[in-house]
Structure 1
Amino acid sequence: MRAQIRHDAMAFAEDLPDGGVAAEHDRAAVDTPVGRLSLRVHPRMAPVERAWRQLESDPWNSLHQGYDWCRAWVETHGHPLAIVEGRLNDEIAFLLPLEIERHYLVRNARFIGSAFTNFNSGLFSAAFRTAAQALPGPTLETVLVEALRDHADLLSLTNIPFDWRGERHPLSVLSHIRNQNASFQLPLRATMEETIAPLNAKSRRKKYRAQVRKLEAAGGFDHIRPARLADQQALLERFFQQKAARFAAGGLPNVFQPAETQAFFRMLLEFDRGGSDVPLELHAISLKGEHDGKIAAITGLSRKGDHVICQFGSIDDSLMAEASPGELLFWLVIERSALNGATLFDFGIGDQDYKRRWCSVETVHHDVLLPLRPAGRLAAMTHRSLTRTKSFIKGNPHLYTLIQRLRAQSTASPAAKSED
């Protein structure tokens, strides 16, 4: 059953009396060596759309903080917003698209949709990124605390690469901790042969040919990227089914199960307006022959300029598993991305063997933790402790494997437990 998409009038209405102007207690300003830095907090997206789209056009900024991506999340989840608009000498400098989520007694200000973002940057102008290097360390912290302290207890911004495309992130001056996960990227060249050259090219070509031969022996396959919205939507529903079966088999919670999460991804498909910037597009391996029309593997990609991000993937274990259709699909979408002018294929955050086999670049991520009120200090300490614990566990393969097994057993069905 599909979720009812929530169109949040408070997030988008432009005809309210204040026209998007924040109250005085939502403002902060300070004089700096590079000029006057002022902040304003908005409870809605629409009043800052023009500045938002101006900043999102910069290729340095993450597609996950783009207007359409955030709008889809806000309309399907409806959390309170705190959009931080920063201006330097009255020129737009940055936007931090934040939503407020309450965890127990603590209000966290996070990037919108953080649960499904692989790479967060916020939105910063090139001029401010340069000027920020001359800002004294406490300056940005001071104005952020002053602007946000009535909205949240903790500013918690996760999955931020502090070094990205040769530039240092302006938020790196804030209190932070290294995230337990890195992200993995493959630089793309003009052809697939050039792209895989830095990898074990001979072995990879051999594997690709073996996968194709196995599928052709069973009747063949098609690499499909549906053009019609209805077909994309049908493929997305198939992905949800495949992922649910996969999680159930592993005894893991299904993060794609909530109705509002599924509604979010459906809405992203509707925002595809063509061109090189695509919020979400689906690709799949469709089988022929004895399995005619069945979908063996699916992946969801997003693209902004020359940067392609793999958002998710799924396989049907009952269909030609011996041919590794999921791995074959990666080859096909990487090749297509290279031929279409992309220069970076991003497998996103999280350390899996298949990412290391494909990627030659590992990008470290950090979490910014800025307490805004006393309750936020304890929450920040807890976050740091949990992150260090996760890092320790992931650094110990034997311990990590044991914990995964215990987690799978704890979420297994009673019938499965009785059989054990």
Structure 2
Amino acid sequence: MRAQIRHDAMAFAEEKSTAGAPIPRGRAALDTPLGTLSVTVHNRMAPVERVWRQLESDPWNSLHQGYDWCHAWVETHGNPLAIVEGRLNGESAFLLPLEVERHYFARSAQFIGSAFTNFNSGLFSAAFRRCAEDFSSEGLQTLLMEALRGHADLLSLSNVPLDWRGERHPLAALPHIRNQNASFQLALGSNMDETIQSLNAKSRRKKYRAQIRKLEAAGGFDHIRPIPQSEQQALLETFFRQKAARFATGGLPNVFQPAETQAFFHLLLESDRGSSDVPLELHAIRLKGEHEGKIAAIAGLSRKGDHVICQFGSIDESLLPDASPGELLFWLVIERSALTGAALFDFGIGDQDYKRRWCTMKSEHHDILVPLRPAGHVAAMTHRSVTRTKSLIKGNAHLYALIQRLRAQGTIAPAARSED
């Protein structure tokens, strides 16, 4: 079926900004055998908060597209928004929370806060996911292009798992490329014994007991769990200091250094509504004895239903490195997640040795790329070329190790240093 896009009389309706000035928004509709699929692009979050929170309650949808997560980013960064609301026969079908950033010569419409998201799905109703395959991919692509063309040059949705929890992603038929990074997960049992059965359980327990003995010999430790806001905020500042030292040692740029990034994470801590879904909570190993009060390791976790994601972690390399406090903290937070009913512990994107030691599952991610204007075609080709190059490098262990050594030695120019 060829796409037949129609523009309603309100194709470019206007919202009122807080200052009273009109804000244009795109709107387009597609007539299909299943009914009318329409999309509207909003430039503010507030008008769609009710629909947003309704869709985010579905456990299939990523917590990174949740209202509170996106609101914290928008409040601290202020990029133009292009929030795509889809409705099928008048009923809420999906929401793509997008912001627009300029990358060199092109404007990219991407998921809000993409720089710090580990898994992006967008927000889709269960009913729409069930019938998504019945829509023409050409029609859906053209519909998004018509609605977003006035806002950006390229629709770029990164780190999207095309298969997630037994379901195919509703946008899987759109043009995409496999991301150079996968994510790593561990399936959880009802307790730690069940959880580590799929690993080398005997070796794991032996290592855990050795870590405990070493820390007890130095005076012991406390596992700091969710604590009052003021202490959480202070612990976050400690994380920023530890991470800055770690990046400096590795010759890497500190992605947590910008003031707006730090403000975003501070605001996330304040977004906890006391429910089982938590945007961000901090855990830490605090030492006793000769290192009384010192923080040896920190982990930042998010939870959506039975899915726990480790957003970040840090260690103080000067404090009892032989005891591996960072590894011990992973054991403690994984155990707590299992005991509180979580089914999946997610270490996020990026291939690192410690993730492979813990994880039994690997999820491929893809980047969906839909050019909206001529500049977007060039940007999409550039994105594909860069991604293929990164994948080639990461697929060659010797070449990747060489680049890592050069980066650590400071041989690679600062502008070229990044996690990839």
Same topology, TM > 0.5 = yes
- Decide whether the 8 Å contact of 2:249 with 2:408 is kept in 1: no
- Name the aligned partner's letter for residue 288 of structure 2: K
Aligned counterparts of 1:410 and 1:237: Cα–Cα separation in 2: 27
Aligned counterparts of 1:34 and 1:250: Cα–Cα separation in 2: 54
Q: Does 1:194 align with 2:194?
A: yes
- Decide whether the 8 Å contact of 1:176 with 1:366 is kept in 2: yes
- Name the aligned partner's letter for residue 119 of structure 1: F
| TM-score (ref. length: structure 1) | 0.93
Query: Between Structure 1 and Structure 2, how many residues are aligned?
Result: 401
Aligned counterparts of 1:167 and 1:256: Cα–Cα separation in 2: 34
**Worse overlay, 186-195 or 402-411:** 402-411
Q: C-alpha displacement at 1:17, in angstroms?
A: 7.6
Identity %: 77
Q: Does 1:320 align with 2:320?
A: yes
- Name the aligned partner's letter for residue 360 of structure 1: T
CA deviations 1:172-219 (Å, max 9, x no partner) are 010000000110111111110000001111111110000001000111
Other-structure match for 1:300: 300
CA deviations 1:365-420 (Å, max 9, x no partner) are 00001000010001100100111100010011110011122223337999xxxxxx
Other-structure match for 1:260: 260
Q: C-alpha displacement at 1:34, in angstroms?
A: 1.5
- Name the aligned partner's letter for residue 333 of structure 2: V
SS where residue 404 of structure 1 aligns?
helix
- Decide whether the 8 Å contact of 1:251 with 1:412 is kept in 2: no
Q: C-alpha displacement at 1:275, in angstroms?
A: 2.0
What pairs with 1:169-184 in structure 2 (closer than 5 Å)?
Answer: 169-184=169-184
Q: C-alpha displacement at 1:226, in angstroms?
A: 4.2
Other-structure match for 1:4: none
Other-structure match for 2:76: 76
CA deviations 1:268-320 (Å, max 9, x no partner) are 00001212110000000000110011000000000011110000000000000
- Decide whether the 8 Å contact of 1:222 with 1:286 is kept in 2: yes
Q: C-alpha displacement at 1:131, in angstroms?
A: 1.1
- Decide whether the 8 Å contact of 1:13 with 1:46 is kept in 2: no
SS where residue 313 of structure 1 aligns?
strand
Q: Considering only aligned residues, what root-mean-square deviation do their CA atoms show, in Å?
A: 1.8
CA deviations 1:74-126 (Å, max 9, x no partner) are 00000000000000011010000000000112000000000000000000000
Aligned counterparts of 1:359 and 1:210: Cα–Cα separation in 2: 21
| TM-score (ref. length: structure 2) | 0.93
Unaligned runs of 5+ in 2: 1-14, 415-420
Q: C-alpha displacement at 1:145, in angstroms?
A: 0.3
What pairs with 1:68-147 in structure 2 (closer than 5 Å)?
Answer: 68-147=68-147
SS where residue 172 of structure 2 aligns?
helix
Aligned counterparts of 2:96 and 2:89: Cα–Cα separation in 1: 18
SS where residue 313 of structure 2 aligns?
strand
- Decide whether the 8 Å contact of 1:76 with 1:261 is kept in 2: yes
Aligned counterparts of 2:272 and 2:39: Cα–Cα separation in 1: 32
- Decide whether the 8 Å contact of 2:37 with 2:89 is kept in 1: yes
Aligned counterparts of 1:125 and 1:407: Cα–Cα separation in 2: 44
Structure 1 residues 180 and 90, CA, compared in 2 at 3 Å: closer, same or farther? same
What pairs with 1:137-176 in structure 2 (closer than 5 Å)?
Answer: 137-176=137-176
CA deviations 1:120-170 (Å, max 9, x no partner) are 000000000011111112111010000001100000100000100110001
Other-structure match for 2:6: none
